[in-house]
Amino acid sequence: MKLHNLFPAIKVDLEVKASDSNEIILLKNVFAVSQENFTLPARSLNVEQLKEKFPFLKDADFESYYNAKPSLLIGSPHASCCEAIAPILEGGEGNPIGIKTKLGWSIYGGAPELYTEEPLSVDVTTTTTSNEVELNELSDEKHHLDKIFEHFCSIESLGIAQKSSYMTQDESLAIESIEKEWKVLPSGSIEVPLAWKLIDGQLPKLPNNYAMVYKRQLAHEQKLIKQPALHAAFISNFQDLLKEGYAREATVADLQGNWPNIWYLPMSLVINERKIPVKYRNVYDASAKYNNVSLNSFLYKGPKLIVDILKPIFKFREGKFAFTSDVKSMYHRVFINERDQQVQRVLFQRICQSTLKTYIIQVMLFGPSSSPLHFAVG
């Protein structure tokens, strides 16, 4: 497939070099296209976790990246750029291999998803046939059309087609992880663990994100102080959590305890203007990333266990009267066990306090990806 037949392109000569080398390599007759026509999918890689999983790659010197998009494809006319200039790092069949080239390290081969929300792909270069570039991403348009048609069919069969009750292995593991430690407290409340993605049967290890969240929370507090009404709503919302026993200030035992994991959630105020009166809610960002991972990176979403909305809608046709109800503060009705409360830490400053203090949310939150599953199972 000729590149210039797909979209406008010009031929240029490029000078490139590795980030850790001064050797300049000349690439002649390279096709250059506009950025909007060169849309390759984003890739993510956590080097620390990759090397932990594959120790034989420990000598490969390359950095982590998240949501990075390739901007250069190197084809066979310049294959010498991809030749190994050092011993190849290999770990046997089924493992990736590391190759040091003139342009730096390349990691080839299969590697599982390592704490990334995007599929992990670590190919640095793409080899193609002479003077031709086959862009697999051109199939994205066809994939998009397939998705549109699939959505159309799902709408047409709404309420008619029988939905499969089959669960994936991850969905089954998510339910199993909660049911193992599910219990009823003396107060009658339900207590559950978070739906962790276990690594070899063990809890994953989260990095210490305190410094990042402290800076973010301090900036948010300073911003709210300039808007007294919003600041008052933010403080009032959190004080309500404390009053109801849904949150508590961290104790010395909490701060000095040897917990498997500690994680801080950035807290902010959102405004829902569609509500009458306008509703102010404190939200907890479980998707906030630190070192390329977030709390949600380590949690299962689990299967959808909530009743399909079609069922109650159809029941409106069966009688003369309809009754509706709601659960006030639904997520707050389910408590999280003490171990996992430590990854629901937040930083908050009361009016009487001069600095941000650590508080712990003891109940389920709107934010963690596994919360709907906790409520359904609980």
pLDDT at 113 over 70: no
Surface-to-core class of residue 144, CB atoms within 10 Å of its CB (0-12 exposed, 13-18 middle, 19+ buried): exposed
Distance CA 320, CA 110 (A): 60
Q: Domain check: are 288 and 233 in the same one?
A: yes
Q: What are phi and psi of 191, to 5 degrees?
A: -120, 130
pLDDT band at residue 290 using 50, 70 and 90 as cut-offs: very high
Average pLDDT, the chain: 78
Q: Domain check: are 132 and 192 in the same one?
A: no
In this structure, are residues 372 and 238 in contact, taking their beta carbons and an 8 Å threshold?
no
Surface-to-core class of residue 195, CB atoms within 10 Å of its CB (0-12 exposed, 13-18 middle, 19+ buried): buried
Enter the pTM of the model.
0.56
Residue 154 in domain = no
Q: Domain check: are 226 and 326 in the same one?
A: yes
pLDDT at 1 over 50: no
The per-residue pLDDT for 234 is 94
Give the residue among 114, 125, 117 at the shortest CA–CA distance from 47.
Answer: 114
Q: Over range 88-113, report the average pLDDT.
A: 76
- Cα first-last separation, the chain: 55
pLDDT band at residue 116 using 50, 70 and 90 as cut-offs: very low
Residue 160 in domain = no
Q: How many domains is the chain partitioned into structurally?
A: 2
Surface-to-core class of residue 292, CB atoms within 10 Å of its CB (0-12 exposed, 13-18 middle, 19+ buried): buried
Q: Over range 83-108, report the average pLDDT.
A: 80
Task: List the domain range (segments joined by +) for residue 281.
Answer: 169-377
Residue 201 is which amino acid? G
The per-residue pLDDT for 123 is 36
Q: Domain check: are 231 and 90 in the same one?
A: no
Q: Domain check: are 126 and 240 in the same one?
A: no
Residue 164 in domain = no
Q: Over range 131-140, report the average pLDDT.
A: 41
pLDDT at 322 over 80: no
Q: Domain check: are 109 and 202 in the same one?
A: no
Q: Domain check: are 223 and 363 in the same one?
A: yes
Q: Domain check: are 124 and 217 in the same one?
A: no
Q: Over range 76-89, report the average pLDDT.
A: 79
DSSP letters for 88-131: -B---TTS-EEEEETTEEEEES-----S-SSPP--------STT
Residue 120 in domain = yes
Q: Domain check: are 182 and 86 in the same one?
A: no
pLDDT at 36 over 70: no
Residue 150 in domain = no
Q: Domain check: are 202 and 289 in the same one?
A: yes
Strand partners of residue 279:
272
Q: Output the CA torsion sign for 106, 42, 91, 134.
A: negative
Share of the chain above pLDDT 70, in %: 79
Distance CA 293, CA 66 (A): 10
Q: Domain check: are 89 and 232 in the same one?
A: no
298: CB partners within 8 A, 6+ apart:
115, 196, 197, 204, 206
Find tokens 């003396």 and name the residue: 186
Residue 158 in domain = no
Q: Domain check: are 261 and 356 in the same one?
A: yes
pLDDT at 346 over 60: yes
| Structure tokens given for 344 | 């629901």
